[in-house]
């Protein structure tokens, strides 16, 4: 499976930091995702910053929003894989949802997580690669578009109930509930 990990935002709710470099309990958020994924996947991280140990790409110009990031990720990955997962780096445990999403997709365009709090989590999803490519083309302009606008281009959507691992952590305070947070070039937060 192809896996796109979005880490290209400006991290404004975390104080304007590179989220791919944020550490939780001494490990990068990205490393939690990569460990859960294991081997055998084509993984690309979408970030305007170089990320050690992984293939990285970025939309041009950077900071074009999540759909522009997804489009950049699709362009950087082989189109030979049947499925493409989309995850966000600030949801460090979300890769645990991939087996359930992959199992549920069947012949649908996308299997997306309905988060534990009831909201759709479009950055915790598995797409048919062909459907994702088609949805991006149908959307046209990808810059500054919401992921929900991309999701609306899918004809067949399957929802999978989340179990909490899909939770994203947008602020330092939220992330601190999981342990010690260290921001790039900053002091340790408790």
SS3 readout for the chain: CEEEEECCCCCHHHCCCCHHHCEECCEEHHHHHHHHHCCCCEEEEECCCCCCCCCEECCCCCCCCHHHHHHHHHHHCCCCCCEEEEEECCCCCHHHHHHHHHHHHCCCCEEEEECCCCCEEEEEEEEEHHHHHHHHHHHCCCCCCCHHHHHCCCCCEEEEECCCCCCCCCCHHHHHCCCCEECCCCCEEC
Q: What is the pLDDT of residue 170?
A: 85
**Stronger pLDDT, 29 or 14, i.e. the higher one:** 29
Q: What is the pLDDT of residue 117?
A: 87
User: Residue ranges of the domains in the chain?
Assistant: 2-189
Band of the pLDDT at 64, cuts 50, 70, 90? very high
Give me the mean pLDDT over the 61-71 stretch. Answer: 94
Q: What is the pLDDT of residue 113?
A: 98
Instruction: Report the chain's mean pLDDT, rounded to a whole number.
Output: 91
Q: Is the pTM of this model over 0.85?
A: yes
Kindly state which CATH superfamily the domain 2-189 is placed in: Spore Coat Polysaccharide Biosynthesis Protein SpsA; Chain A (3.90.550.10)
Band of the pLDDT at 15, cuts 50, 70, 90? low
Q: For the segment 98-123, what is each residue's pLDDT rounded down to a tens digit? A: 999 999 999 999 999 999 889 999 99
């Amino acid at each position: 499976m192809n896996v796109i990990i979005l880490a290209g935002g400006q991290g404004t709710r975390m104080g304007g930091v590179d989220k791919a470099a944020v550490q939780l309990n001494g490990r990068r958020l990205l490393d939690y995702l990569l460990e859960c994924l294991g081997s055998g996947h084509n993984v690309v991280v979408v970030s305007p910053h170089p990320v050690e140990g992984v293939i990285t790409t970025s939309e041009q110009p950077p900071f074009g929003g999540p759909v522009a990031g997804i489009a950049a990720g699709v362009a950087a990955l082989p189109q030979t894989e049947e499925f493409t997962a989309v995850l966000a780096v600030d949801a460090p445990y979300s890769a645990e949802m991939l087996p359930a999403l992959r199992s549920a997709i069947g012949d649908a365009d996308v299997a997306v997580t309905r988060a534990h709090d009831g909201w759709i989590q479009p950055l915790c999803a598995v797409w048919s690669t062909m459907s994702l490519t088609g949805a991006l083309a149908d959307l046209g302009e990808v810059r500054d578009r919401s992921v929900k606008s991309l999701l609306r281009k899918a004809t067949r959507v399957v929802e999978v109930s989340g179990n909490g691992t899909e939770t994203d952590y947008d602020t330092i305070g939220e992330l601190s509930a999981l342990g010690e947070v260290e921001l790039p070039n900053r002091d340790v937060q408790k």
